[in-house]
Amino acid sequence: VFSWLVFLLILPPKVVAHTFPNEPTPQSTEKPQAEAWTWLWH
């Protein structure tokens, strides 16, 4: 379970940084972008 928590905590910022490399602070816009992406995918 701990490994899954670490995995889920480390992966999202890297995915966001990889998807939005031009963003100066991808962590500050992680939640809004994630919601927008989920809506777009649905």
Give the pLDDT of residue 37: 55
- Residue 42: the pLDDT is 46
**Bigger pLDDT: 11 vs 20:** 11
Q: What CA–CA distance (Å, rounded) separates 2 from 26?
A: 25
Q: What is the mean pLDDT of residues 20-30?
A: 54
The answer to whether 16 and 37 have CB atoms below 8 angstroms apart is no
In the predicted model, what is the mean pLDDT of the chain? 63
The mean per-residue pLDDT over the stretch 25-33 comes to: 50
Residues near 33 by beta carbon (within 8 Å), at least 6 away in sequence: 16, 19, 20, 26
For the record, the structure tokens of 39 come out as 């809506």
Instruction: Please indicate whether residue 33 or residue 2 has the higher confidence score (pLDDT).
Output: 2
Kindly list the distances between the CA atom of residue 41 and the CA atoms of 32, 36, 37, 38, in Å, as whole numbers in the listed order. 14, 9, 6, 5
